[in-house]
Structure 1
Amino acid sequence: MKKKLVILSGAGMSAESGIKTFRDADGLWEGHDIMEVASPIGWDKNPELVLDFYNKRRAQLLEVQPNRGHEIIAELENQFDVHVITQNVDDLHERAGSSNVLHLHGELLKVRSVANENHIIDWKTDLYLGDTDKHGHQLRPHIVWFGEAVPAIDEAIEIVQDADILIVIGTSLQVYPAAGLINFANNEVPIYYIDPKPATMYDVINPVTVIPMSASEGMEKIMSDSL
């Protein structure tokens, strides 16, 4: 039976592909205050601004490609039972070939009805006010905004609890509940943490190997040295 390898990926995973990290050093995201474009309050206040913001993100996503880090993770399915839990809303893990990907914060290439969060539609073009489901309800980005529940978190916890190996890539470990997932791994499970500027892992009793590299460099190193 293959060992279960769990990947927790964040914004740094896709940075090499040209997707900007969640927020810049000044706290803004593409020039916007986060709460303007990633919260229910922002949506209620100015839905056109929110739709335009995600239209631009969606268009950018369709222009970039998976990087070597994504590809290595997909290739590891030959050796391991690989499960990817990502905070990213892009589809680069899937495009690289990963077959088990759980998106904690939604997906940019999907939209959903404001009246039914389970009515989800694949969507690769721009979304506008007036675009509705078959019942006439407005469609919105299928993104988990600040202040909203993370529906996939329970499934993510179960996946981490069964991990034999845990690799954390490109995340500051600051956004909860995702940041708390590592605490659900069994104590003896080795953790590899890849990030050019790794955060400090407090209260983690697992054996941790910190690899201060980019996603691609770090995955290459793990492949050659550890797996």
Structure 2
Amino acid sequence: MSKQEPAIPNGLLEALRTAQHVVALTGAGISAESGIPTFRDAQTGLWAQYSAEELATPEAFQRNPRLVWDWYGWRRQMVAAAKPNAGHLALARLEHLVPTFTLITQNVDGLHAAAGSREPIELHGNIMRVRCALEATRYTTWSEEGALPPPCPSCGAPLRPDVVWFGEQLPVIALERAWSAAATCDVMLSIGTSGLVEPAASLPRLAYNRGATVAVLNLDVTPHNQERLYLLNGQAGNLLPALVTALEQQG
């Protein structure tokens, strides 16, 4: 291992090597490395006068649907220009090294799928889709010509981003799949997530309480190792490739 590569605890590598089911939970931190600002970052340009919490709500969409639509259009442009980083790509590699792998993400940018991860569980939806505000029918293409937000082709109600806003419930099927994975995994990696947003914040605790090994990879943690719990301080784009490479070398 070169001096530039972060050290991965042997206990964590051993847990991964013998695991039958590995779960990765990702948050905004992993996509920040691809240039996508987190909700905690200040808005820029025309949107500097607003906070994300003011715009990402059903109430804001009811008050001023065009404003919210335009803001998501701006965010969608940033996402479309972003590329998966080394952390995303490492998770796609990890998926092929363990018998069962489940990827749960709080991100809406679709970068995990772009990196090659199969069927990620998107707890908060996907910004590159829209859905009918009335019927919830999903669409991956729509017209930006004419009135905005565009009307639903089926019923004429306005289309909205297919994301979970503040005050809304997470999609039931995705949440059930996430709970089931956390309850049955052998190892959970919590990557780039603050651990403050429920119910996703409870998933690592559930896994740990069910006997799984849990590793937290984040810039906000103090490095610490104990039985079945590892706190690794650093960027996902550095830590995850080192972890996967070490696991491949153990092979």
TM-score by length of 2: 0.80
Q: What residue is the counterpart of 2:237 in the other structure? A: 216
Q: Match for 1:190: what amino acid?
A: T
Q: What residue is the counterpart of 2:167 in the other structure? A: 147
Q: What residue is the counterpart of 1:13 in the other structure? A: 30
- Please show how residues 86-125 of structure 1 align to structure 2 within 5 Å: 86-117=105-136, 119-123=137-141
Indicate if the aligned counterparts of 2:107 and 2:124 stay in contact, CA closer than 8 A. Answer: yes
Pairing partner for 2:76 from 44, 58, 65: 58
Q: What residue is the counterpart of 1:193 in the other structure? A: 216
Q: Residue 225 of structure 1: CA displacement? A: 4.8
Pairing partner for 1:39 from 57, 61, 65: 57
Report the Cα distance in structure 2 between the residues aligned to 1:70 and 1:6, rounded to whole angstroms.
14
1:154-192 deviation per Cα after TM superposition (whole angstroms, max 9, x unaligned) = 221011112111000001101111111112215321111
Pairing partner for 2:86 from 53, 68, 72: 68
Indicate if the aligned counterparts of 2:183 and 2:210 stay in contact, CA closer than 8 A. Answer: no
Report the Cα distance in structure 1 between the residues aligned to 2:152 and 2:227, rounded to whole angstroms.
48
Q: What residue is the counterpart of 2:11 in the other structure? A: none
Larger radius of gyration: 2
Q: Residue 89 of structure 1: CA displacement? A: 0.2
Pairing partner for 1:157 from 179, 186, 196: 179
Q: What residue is the counterpart of 1:4 in the other structure? A: 21
Q: Residue 222 of structure 1: CA displacement? A: 2.2
TM-score by length of 1: 0.88
Indicate if the aligned counterparts of 1:8 and 1:86 stay in contact, CA closer than 8 A. Answer: yes
Indicate if the aligned counterparts of 1:187 and 1:206 stay in contact, CA closer than 8 A. Answer: no
Report the Cα distance in structure 1 between the residues aligned to 2:203 and 2:222, rounded to whole angstroms.
15
Q: What residue is the counterpart of 2:8 in the other structure? A: none
Query: What SS does the aligned partner of 2:204 have?
Result: helix
- Cα pair distance change 1:221/1:124, threshold 3 Å: farther
- Identify the structure with bigger relative contact order (alpha carbons < 8 Å, sequence gap 6+): 2
Q: Match for 2:198: what amino acid?
A: Y
Count of paired positions? 220
Indicate if the aligned counterparts of 2:188 and 2:212 stay in contact, CA closer than 8 A. Answer: yes
Q: Match for 2:237: what amino acid?
A: S
- Cα pair distance change 1:53/1:224, threshold 3 Å: same
Q: Match for 1:176: what amino acid?
A: E
Query: What SS does the aligned partner of 2:81 have?
Result: coil
Indicate if the aligned counterparts of 1:35 and 1:41 stay in contact, CA closer than 8 A. Answer: no
Report the Cα distance in structure 2 between the residues aligned to 1:53 and 1:165, rounded to whole angstroms.
38
Indicate if the aligned counterparts of 1:188 and 1:206 stay in contact, CA closer than 8 A. Answer: no
Q: What residue is the counterpart of 2:228 in the other structure? A: 207
Report the Cα distance in structure 1 between the residues aligned to 2:165 and 2:130, rounded to whole angstroms.
13
Q: What residue is the counterpart of 2:7 in the other structure? A: none
Query: What SS does the aligned partner of 1:59 have?
Result: helix
Provide the aligned C-alpha RMSD in A.
2.5
Please, which runs of 5 or more residues in structure 1 have no aligned partner?
none
Identity of aligned residues (%): 34
Report the Cα distance in structure 2 between the residues aligned to 1:199 and 1:111, rounded to whole angstroms.
39
Pairing partner for 1:133 from 141, 153, 170: 153
Query: What SS does the aligned partner of 1:167 have?
Result: strand
Report the Cα distance in structure 2 between the residues aligned to 1:226 and 1:130, rounded to whole angstroms.
48
1:167 maps onto 2:189 in alignment = yes
1:180 maps onto 2:168 in alignment = no
Report the Cα distance in structure 2 between the residues aligned to 1:219 and 1:147, rounded to whole angstroms.
33
Indicate if the aligned counterparts of 1:35 and 1:42 stay in contact, CA closer than 8 A. Answer: no
